[in-house]
């Protein structure tokens, strides 16, 4: 999956932009008449969108090392939102890519798909 396809899936699944499209290879539109598209190479906008998705519900971990061929590996999982010591379902999703942005968006998408399963 390309970074553009992953970003489109992120917008649809994670941000709820049901009518998101890719009118140009570098950005994703929220639809006709809607403001603030997601520009794939705008790290500030990506960071804000990822922070909006993660909120207090999910955690994210990003690694990069020789065992992955120096690719970025992003993991997203559910935070323990209960005050009880038991934690139900320690699910986490992982995505690896040479691109940091692609790894982060891919892990977020994978987490939403894991939750939906």
- What average pLDDT is seen over the chain? 84
DSSP 94: E
Structure-block tokens of residue 27 = 């950005």
Each domain of the chain, given as residue ranges in start order, spans 3-81+89-116
CA angle 87, 88, 92 (to 5 degrees): 95
Identify which has the larger pLDDT, 16 or 34. 16
Q: Put residue 37 in one of left, alpha, beta given phi > 0 → left and psi -120 to 50 → alpha.
A: beta
The answer to whether the beta carbons of residues 103 and 72 sit under 8 Å apart is yes
Cross-strand bridge partners of residue 76: 60, 93
Which pLDDT does position 30 carry in this prediction? 66
- In DSSP notation, 3-58 reads HHHHHHHIIIIIS--TT-EEEETTEEE--TT----EETT-HHHHHHHHHHHHTTTE
pLDDT recorded at residue 109: 97
pLDDT tens sequence across 24-69: 767 677 665 556 677 778 888 889 999 999 998 999 999 997 877 8
Q: How far apart are CA 22 and CA 45, in angstroms?
A: 16
CATH class of 3-81+89-116: alpha beta
């Amino acid at each position: 999956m390309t970074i553009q396809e992953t970003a489109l899936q992120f917008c649809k699944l994670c941000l709820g932009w049901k009518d998101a499209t890719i009118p140009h290879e570098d950005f994703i539109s929220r639809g006709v008449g809607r403001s603030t598209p997601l520009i794939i190479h705008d790290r500030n906008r990506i960071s804000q969108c990822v922070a909006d998705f993660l909120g207090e519900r999910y955690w994210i971990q990003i690694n990069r090392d020789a065992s992955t061929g120096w690719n970025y590996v992003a993991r997203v999982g559910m935070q323990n939102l209960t005050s009880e010591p038991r934690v139900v379902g320690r699910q986490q999703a992982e995505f690896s890519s040479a691109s940091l942005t692609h790894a982060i968006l891919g892990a977020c998408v994978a987490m939403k798909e894991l939750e939906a399963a």
